[in-house]
Amino acid sequence: MESKTFNPFAMAQHQFDQVADLLDLDVPTRDLLRAPMREFHFLIPVRMDDGSVRVFRGYRVQHNDARGPCKGGIRFHPQETADTVRALAMWMTWKCAVVDIPLGGGKGGVVCDPHNLSQREQERLCRGWIRQMAKNVGPLEDVPAPDVMTNPQHMLWMLDEYETIHGKKYPGFITGKPVGMGGSLGRTEATGYGVIYTLREALKEQDIRPEDTTAAVQGFGNVSQFAVDLYQRLGGTVVCVSCWDQADQTSYTFRKAQGIHLAELREITDRFGGIDKAKAKAMGYDVLPGDAWIAQDVDILIPAALENQVNGETVQKIGPKVRIMAEGANGPTTPEADAFMKERGIFVIPDFLANAGGVTCSYFEQVQCNMNYFWEKDEVLGRLDQKMTSAFLAVSDLARRKKLYMRDAAYVISISRVAQASRDRGWV
């Protein structure tokens, strides 16, 4: 089965190679951009609450910093691998470039399951990660942020450890911090809202009114919840969301044909985005298998969970009505599935454009921290809307002019910008 052999880094390189051919990039530039510039693999010993010591594996990958300091999340995940982190770091480079912010791509991770760690153990793990990386990250070098199963509290512990080691205040070192401790208003909404800002523009271009559309969403974490929120405010109807069930170690889809009710689902959701099955059934939701979201009779699909969800196998289940897919997750669609989507004429808003709202708002947080002056929420979201809209319009315009698939058009813009910066610096 495809998922067993799926390698996200091989997929990221495959996507890059196709566009490098399209751009006719020279060999040194290809060699520089298709692999990370620096990688760190390390061990983090943590004293557990019972007095024993467990050793966790940690990573940080800095893909390219030609356009500015590296930027990228740190995820806590039991299935974390070096190749996943490499792929995500590479996608972050393209993501920062496509929305034209002066940052490069980085990513970090720890192989662990925070569900099974106490708060104090998680704090020691965060501080241990920083101790291993303190010489190689910083506000002018590499700026981390939260990602899968990490949150503002984790970032604050990391910031505190970094400042303790260096003996100074560096609020711009890490983003996704709590508001009031250097975090930006609007950051929580940013990724999900960004997805919908781009979707809104795609609907405008196709002359479709949001209130005439239905959507199926995969995931019910932060990105999904705020995407659903804004999409419903525009008048759209979400018929289902799916989420991972920690107890059963599998995922489920929660469907209500007339439209899900966001507030009531949030009330029965744990902090990791897991929905209580029994309570959902009592509220009138159909509880279906995890991959049922992709087969719904809807106009729009929003994968907002993990990578490799729309692959050679699952793409066959996409309903005949689907016209647009907005990728809230990183790397949800494999090249094999892309070929099918092109053939079907489904309009894809690629991940590193659709979900760039998070890194854009992280950049805003960094700017505010470095100025020591903070904006109101409306200003943050207004600037975000502006950035996401102009990035979408540039990609969609190029796609139309050159008759390119949207993902390829987004890559052409990103890779051209990073290649140019590398040339301008005299690296290649």
The reported pLDDT for the residue numbered 222 is 87
The answer for 207, left when phi > 0, alpha when psi is -120 to 50, beta otherwise, is: left
Say whether domain 38-183 belongs to CATH 3.40.1390.20: no
Instruction: Please give the pLDDT value at position 6.
Output: 82
In one-letter notation, the amino acid at residue 159 is: L
For residues 334 and 346, what is the distance between their CA atoms, to the nearest angstrom? 15
Residue 184 CA to residue 417 CA, distance in Å, equals 27
Give the dihedral of Cα atoms 115, 44, 307, 17; nearest 10 deg. 180
Interatomic CA distance for residues 318 and 136, integer angstroms: 44
Q: Where in the chain is the domain with CATH 3.40.50.10860?
A: 38-183
CB-CB contact of 228 with 262 (8 Å) = yes
Helix pair angle (335-344, 8-23), 10° resolution:
60
Alpha carbon of residue 73 to chain centroid: 9
Q: Which string of b and e fits 62-83 if b means at least 16 CB within 10 Å? A: bbbbbbbbbbbbbbbbeebbbb
Q: Specify the pLDDT at position 4.
A: 57
pLDDT at 186: 96
- Can you give the pTM of this predicted structure? 0.92
CATH topology of domain 188-354: Rossmann fold (3.40.50)
| Tokens found for residue 390 | 């102009």
Could you give the CA distance from residue 274 to residue 76 in angstroms, rounded to a whole number?
Answer: 16
Q: What's the rounded Cα separation, in Å, for the pair 209 and 199?
A: 11
Q: What is the pLDDT of residue 249?
A: 82
Catalytic residues: 107
Q: State the span(s) of the chain assigned CATH 3.40.50.720.
A: 188-354
Residue 165 confidence (pLDDT) = 98
How many Å apart are CA 366 and CA 369, to the nearest integer? Answer: 5
How many Å apart are CA 202 and CA 94, to the nearest integer?
A: 20
Per run of 10 residues, the mean pLDDT along the chain (length 428 residues) is: 70 94 97 98 98 98 98 95 96 96 98 96 98 97 93 97 98 96 95 98 97 96 94 97 85 94 93 86 93 96 91 93 95 92 95 95 96 97 98 98 95 98 98
